[in-house]
Structure 1
Amino acid sequence: MVYATPEAIRELTVAVDQATEGNKLLVEAYKNMHGGHPVEVASRFLKARENDVSRALQMILDSLQWRIIDDIDNVLSRPIEPKDTYDAIRESIPIGMTGFCRKGRPVFVIGVGSNGLDKFPPHMYVQSHIQINEYRDKVILPNSSRRMGYFVGTCLKIFDMTNLRISTLSDIKILSLIATIDDLNYPEKTDTYYIANAPYIFQACWRVVRPLLHERTKRKVHVLSGCGREELLKVMDENVLPDFCRSDIKLEDRKTESCFSPSHPFHEEMWNYMKQEASKLKCVASSTKKTSHTAVPLPREEEFRSSQSTCHHFADNVVREVTCSSHG
């Protein structure tokens, strides 16, 4: 496992301060990025770059430039409107938050098998994803840290594979864009990826994807048996489990109780927060124009070649794997 050494953390924090000194935009962007915890940010970026200080520094500077160019620090003041459109995006790329694990980490659930990313332009899905990331980092995690009495800077994610089909892989381009944003700008923010309700096709997908992942990522992936109720209960209380694991929720009530529902408290609170931020900065009127220019920072050349190859060949390889397995 790759660790960020204390020496590397000290060297990187000094290097970032020196690289941003005298540039008000960079200084402000960096301040907003670390939120008062520069050591934790240095540790995350170092882990993402195998404890290499120079590469981690470049990664941070690239991310800061992205935040400045696309005004990411104000993305929460640009709600996607009208509310019906915001809700429709949430329903077509199901994601929600069920609560917190016993260590105070927020628990997010993503409905991978229920994606329908063909209803809106890609940039709207990208913006929506960035807003959730920023809301997590600026609101949810700081609130949890205050409640727990210690710093909480990471989350848990549960991927629900119910209804996963080969046709779902047609959304690989948008999903790859979102994954790239997370890898380059929000590294090491997830401690564990739980895979729930995995159908046969997931095993084929996993055989294709697993060799392409970093070792540090492989170790974070836990494929659960069925819904994974017993495994998840080891780290969270029952009331935090996703609805498909809850024995106290009737089948007919699961749609309204689901964390994917736009009426779920997480989505309602996030929407209200963005409206308040928009009111403060008086930028609601310009939100439509601004949202069409959210860019994705390109990785360095060697990383770009890897991600490009994965995107181009992923679906074909999965289909081939499924076909071979079904005839084996």
Structure 2
Amino acid sequence: MTSLLKKSASKVGSRNLDESSTVEDANARIIELRASIGTLTGRLDQFADDACLRRYLRARNWNIKKAEKMLKDTLAWRESYKPEDIRWSDIAGESETGKIYRASIKDKNGHTVLVMHPGRQNTSNPEMQIKQLVYFLENAVLNLPEGQEQMIWLIDFKGWSMKKSTPIGLARETANILQNHYPERLHVAVLYNPPRLFEAFWTIVKPFLDPKTFRKVKFVYSKNAESQKILSELFEENATKTIFEDPNDYTHEDYAKLMQEDDKKSALYWKGAGEAKTGAEPAADVQSKAADISEAASLKTEEGAAVNDAPASAPESLAPVAPAPVATPVVAPVS
């Protein structure tokens, strides 16, 4: 536990000096990236706004060629998988135990919060588990407040056991989706009270994680005051108490009503009306431009010097990998 805590001690959500040096430089790269992906129509055009392109550039350290490949892969995936068309009725059975849900709280900075309880695994169909995860990623993005682009993951290991560990195939597909199709959407992922056995698995899987994602994973233990500071930095006092301590933190019937209303918002947004998130992306775009100036390091050096932060091979999940029944995908999420 001590070694994991040391690696979680850096400031939560701290940014890396890998931004474009000026707004003008950033905008020029966005224009070049847009030209490289060609003309888009319909939902893909709506998806690939300037804020989206900026996130993909950030994920690839403002390397246009690498961002182009990453974005084109996502566009092809979205056109095929159609994540925006997934509805609550499609994944309601997966969600009966509350193994994944969007919390009613936000952190001090307004980040949407996704809660995961891998110990509540209730199904064994990997395709449906992926669909549930994608649904909640889309839902978390839909519910981001104005001026915010990122979410927080709270992963509670209460009730987890080896029998509920994630098979390698599902872990690989999960991490691929998270890191490559939702880049720069994660603020921080908190792993709460992972058992000692998890440390060995973490050592195995961390080399497969994107470096940016790796730096956003924080280990928190209820009996370790130092690690608890991570939560206090993120949330108001007792804000997460129900999530981590109340076994009845989730009521399926009530939550279903909330998600059905969100499905209506999603349908409206992707229809192109825009009412579902009026002003949210432009505000986030402004916030991103400010970050480009205040926290950036110049990329006036050779483009080829940009570090390729993509995993050397297909990434794996943060959840332990073992030949066990399929379980909730628990991974270090999207950077």
Question: What do the CA deviations read for 1:51-100 (whole angstroms, capped 9, x no partner)?
Answer: 32101012112211222233334x14x4435xxxx433013671123310
One of 8, 31, 40 as aligned partner of 1:14: 31
Q: Distance in 2 between matches of 1:97 and 1:217?
A: 20
1:270 is paired with a residue whose SS is helix
One of 112, 115, 119 as aligned partner of 1:113: 119
Following TM superposition, by how much is the alpha carbon of 1:133 offset from its aligned partner in structure 2, in angstroms? 1.6
Question: What do the CA deviations read for 1:4-41 (whole angstroms, capped 9, x no partner)?
Answer: 3146632442134324554435xx4132344xxx1x32
Q: 1:278 to 1:208 in 2, by over 3 A?
A: same
The one-letter code of the counterpart of 1:193 is: A
Q: 1:245 to 1:97 in 2, by over 3 A?
A: same
Q: Distance in 2 between matches of 1:269 and 1:280?
A: 17
Correspondence 1:29 to 2:44 = yes
Following TM superposition, by how much is the alpha carbon of 1:107 offset from its aligned partner in structure 2, in angstroms? 1.8
Which residue does the alignment assign to 1:270?
A: 259
Pairing of 1:87-236 with structure 2 (within 5 A): 87-91=92-96, 94-98=99-103, 99-118=105-124, 121-138=125-142, 140-141=143-144, 144-145=145-146, 151-226=147-222, 231-236=230-235
Question: What do the CA deviations read for 1:236-265 (whole angstroms, capped 9, x no partner)?
Answer: 12453152546xxxxxxx333x14x32354
Which residue does the alignment assign to 1:321?
A: none
Q: 1:279 to 1:29 in 2, by over 3 A?
A: closer
Deviating more after overlay: 237-246 vs 94-103 = 237-246
Q: 1:158 to 1:279 in 2, by over 3 A?
A: closer
Aligned residues of 2:102 and 2:140 also touching (Cα < 8 A):
no
Q: Distance in 2 between matches of 1:43 and 1:237?
A: 30
Which residue does the alignment assign to 1:289?
A: none
1:315 is paired with a residue whose SS is coil
Following TM superposition, by how much is the alpha carbon of 1:105 offset from its aligned partner in structure 2, in angstroms? 0.5
Q: 1:181 to 1:172 in 2, by over 3 A?
A: same
Segments of structure 1 that go 5 or more residues without pairing to the other structure are 146-150, 247-253, 282-301, 317-328
**Percent of matched pairs sharing the same residue:** 19
Following TM superposition, by how much is the alpha carbon of 1:154 offset from its aligned partner in structure 2, in angstroms? 0.2
Q: Distance in 1 between matches of 2:239 and 2:152?
A: 12
Question: What do the CA deviations read for 1:179-229 (whole angstroms, capped 9, x no partner)?
Answer: 211111101211111111121111112222223333322221111122765
Pairing of 1:304-319 with structure 2 (within 5 A): 306-307=313-314, 314-315=321-322
TM-score of the superposed pair, with normalisation by structure 1? 0.68
Question: What do the CA deviations read for 1:270-319 (whole angstroms, capped 9, x no partner)?
Answer: 223326767999xxxxxxxxxxxxxxxxxxxx9687127889x9438xxx
The one-letter code of the counterpart of 1:48 is: A
Q: Distance in 2 between matches of 1:175 and 1:217?
A: 15
Which residue does the alignment assign to 2:89?
A: 80
Correspondence 1:46 to 2:57 = yes
Q: Distance in 1 between matches of 2:316 and 2:194?
A: 25
Q: 1:224 to 1:239 in 2, by over 3 A?
A: closer
Aligned residues of 2:151 and 2:186 also touching (Cα < 8 A):
yes
Q: Indicate the structure with greater helix content.
A: 1
Aligned residues of 2:174 and 2:316 also touching (Cα < 8 A):
no
Q: Distance in 2 between matches of 1:174 and 1:20?
A: 30
Q: Distance in 1 between matches of 2:137 and 2:166?
A: 24
1:195 is paired with a residue whose SS is strand
Q: Distance in 2 between matches of 1:268 and 1:238?
A: 28
Deviating more after overlay: 60-69 vs 42-51 = 42-51
Q: Distance in 2 between matches of 1:41 and 1:275?
A: 23
Following TM superposition, by how much is the alpha carbon of 1:230 offset from its aligned partner in structure 2, in angstroms? 5.0
Aligned residues of 2:175 and 2:317 also touching (Cα < 8 A):
no
Q: Distance in 2 between matches of 1:55 and 1:15?
A: 13
The one-letter code of the counterpart of 1:306 is: S
Aligned residues of 2:188 and 2:218 also touching (Cα < 8 A):
yes
Q: Distance in 2 between matches of 1:276 and 1:219?
A: 33
Q: Distance in 1 between matches of 2:231 and 2:36?
A: 43
Which residue does the alignment assign to 1:290?
A: none
Q: Distance in 2 between matches of 1:229 and 1:271?
A: 35
